[in-house]
Amino acid sequence: MDEGNAALYAAIIGFAAALIGAAVGGWASWRAAKHSADAAVRATVEQVTGQAANELAQWIRQERRKVYGEVIAAYAQMGHALIRLSAAPTDGELEAAYQVEADKVRVAAHTVRLLGPDSVNAAAWVLIESTHEARNAIREWARQVARGSSGLREMEEAAEETQHAMGASYTAFLAACREVLLTSQGEGSA
């Protein structure tokens, strides 16, 4: 082989090696860029998913705090109405006002059941039932007082007993709400 051909072959081989090197280098760069892009996409998806979950949990906590507060406010109003009724049990308007306030407690407690969690739902249900029982006993007592019926002491004791049960259920409701609101995750999101 003469020197000219050898130089030509060497140039062709060098050129081919440069092309192959560039192709392999380009392919490696492309793989690395694709891997980096895939990792960035995964990280972004994880961040967005985590952020959405955190925002949902925060929204649920805020809504729970709001509806729990509505029960507390309604219970306080019912208590004020009951105090006024106790001072004048023959006043039909006060008795009706108490009934309305007791119903507001029950409605607010039913709203709580939409947001949970289960421990608060159970406590709300007991509060709903005990408020209903106390409402009925107090209504009957007030009506019997207005009529001047005999046996009022037994009715008054029965009404007081239902009020104590309602108070205990309210205390249990508050404890369940407190547990949920003061823990980092409550009992889940629903």
* pLDDT category of residue 104 using cuts at 50, 70 and 90: very high
Q: Mean pLDDT, to the nearest integer, of 85-97? A: 85
Residue 190, pLDDT above cutoff 60: no
Residue 129, pLDDT above cutoff 90: yes
Please write the tens of the pLDDT for every residue from 143-182: 888 888 887 888 889 999 999 999 999 999 999 999 999 9
Query: Nearest Cα to 134, choosing from 74, 79, 174, 76?
Result: 79
pLDDT exceeding 70 applies to what percent of the chain? 96
Q: How far is CA 82 from CA 88, 94, 125, 126, in A?
A: 10, 8, 21, 20
Q: Mean pLDDT, to the nearest integer, of 136-149? A: 86
The secondary structure of the chain, three-state, reads CCHHHHHHHHHHHHHHHHHHHHHHHHHHHHHHHHHHHHHHHHHHHHHHHHHHHHHHHHHHHHHHHHHHHHHHHHHHHHHHHHHHHHHCCCCHHHHHHHHHHHHHHHHHHHHHCCCCCHHHHHHHHHHHHHHHHHHHHHHHHHHHHHHCCCCHHHHHHHHHHHHHHHHHHHHHHHHHHHHHHHCCCECECC
Cis omega before residue 89 (within 30°)? no
Please write the tens of the pLDDT for every residue from 13-29: 888 888 888 888 888 88
For residue 186, the cross-strand partners are: 188
Please tell me the predicted confidence (pLDDT) of residue 184: 64
- Contact by Cβ (8 Å): 173, 126: yes
- Contact by Cβ (8 Å): 152, 127: no
Measured distance CA(53)–CA(146) in Å, rounded: 57
Q: Mean pLDDT, to the nearest integer, of 22-45? A: 85
Angle among Cα 6, 10, 15 to the nearest 5 degrees reads 150
User: Whole-prediction pTM value?
Assistant: 0.72
Please write the tens of the pLDDT for every residue from 57-88: 899 999 999 999 999 999 999 999 989 888 88
Residue 102, pLDDT above cutoff 70: yes
* pLDDT category of residue 189 using cuts at 50, 70 and 90: very low
Mean pLDDT, the chain, whole residue set: 88
Lowest mean pLDDT among 49-53, 112-116, 130-134, 184-188: 184-188
Amino acid identity of residue 88, one-letter, is: A
* Domains in the chain with CATH codes: 3-182 (1.20.120)
